[in-house]
Amino acid sequence: MDSDAYSSSFRTEAAIAQQLQTRHFGLIDYQSAWEAMQAFTQQRTSSTVDEIWFLQHPAVFTQGQAGKTEHLLAPGDIPVIQADRGGQVTYHGPGQLVAYLLIDLRRRGLGVRALVTAIETAIVTVLSQYRISASPRSDAPGVYITDPVSHRTGAKIAQLGLRVRRGCSFHGLSLNVDMQMEPFTRINPCGHVGLAVTNMAMECDEVPSASTLSQQLTEYFMADLGYTVVSKSGDGRLPVLPPPNDR
């Protein structure tokens, strides 16, 4: 490769690294979203722009790679899916905002721990805009209420679980916004016996929309992770990348 071609390639890669694509899907079944994440991560190349997918799931329990059956107390009519993310069992359902972060960590020079910290800090920052005091815990990933006057201090309000393959992340976070909480009583959330769980509707007077929260999280990730260009898609269709030989 001559110097001009190398310089052009470097500029192209640098431009791609500055871009972030957000997609907004509405209600998507977990299995379809999971399979799409796996395919996206497997097929992406050095020229693939990083993406964040915002969506909600119909009621489902998912077991992480560390999940143990004893933490599934009484799933009943809610399906259970064994997933490839980190962590233990959790619940997803309508009224919970899910964000899947499909990020080329090598390109960004990010380690997994740094990404976890960025996710937790993003959630804490957004919650603070609604006067919800929360923080992560060193012994258990996620975000927990820390308001000393709240009788739900210590309750979990957001969950996270990641998988890294080929230097790229998938899966991500779930923020409990305004959802039915009863299903959490059917499990030991994230493998913790007796862990209380809460949502934004229980902690603040005015519950923001999923669209507003998605925008606020996007703005934080842009600033914290160094993106300068963001594009948004809201067509509701899971992306399908062409096979590598076609790109």
Reading the chain (247 residues) residue by residue, the pLDDT tens digits are 454 443 445 457 788 999 999 999 999 999 999 999 999 999 999 999 999 999 999 999 999 887 778 888 999 999 999 998 988 899 999 999 999 999 999 999 999 999 999 999 999 999 999 999 999 998 888 999 998 777 788 999 999 999 999 999 999 999 999 999 999 999 988 888 889 999 999 999 999 999 999 999 999 999 999 999 888 887 667 776 555 444 4
Inter-residue contact 218 to 58 (CB < 8 Å): no
Is 90 annotated to bind a ligand? Reply is yes
pLDDT digits (tens, 9 = 90+) for 216-240: 999 999 999 999 988 888 766 777 6
Q: CA 227 from chain center: how many Å?
A: 17
89 labelled binding-site residue? yes
State the number of CA atoms in the 13 A half-sphere of 3 facing the CB: 0
Q: Which of 108, 114, 107 is nearest to 45 (CA)?
A: 107
The response to whether 207 counts as a known ligand-binding position is no
The identity of residue 189, as a single letter, is: P
Contact 41, 51 (CB under 8 A): no
88 annotated ligand binder: yes
Distances (CA, A) of 6 to 1, 49, 195: 6, 20, 54
Residue 76 in marked binding region: no
157's enclosing H/E stretch is: strand 156-165
Does the annotation list 209 as a binding residue?
no
Catalytic amino acids?
Answer: 190
Confidence (pLDDT) at 2: 57
As its CATH architecture, domain 20-228 has: 2-Layer Sandwich (3.30)
- Tell me: is residue 173 an annotated ligand-binding position: yes
* Residue 124 assigned to a binding site: no
Q: Where are the domains of the chain?
A: 20-228
pTM: 0.90
CA-to-CA dists, residue 229 to 20, 121, 153, 219, 240, angstroms: 6, 21, 38, 11, 22
Distance CA 12, CA 1 (A): 15
CB distance 137 to 117 below 8 Å: no
Taking CA atoms, 104 is separated from 52, 204, 237, in Å, by 12, 35, 22
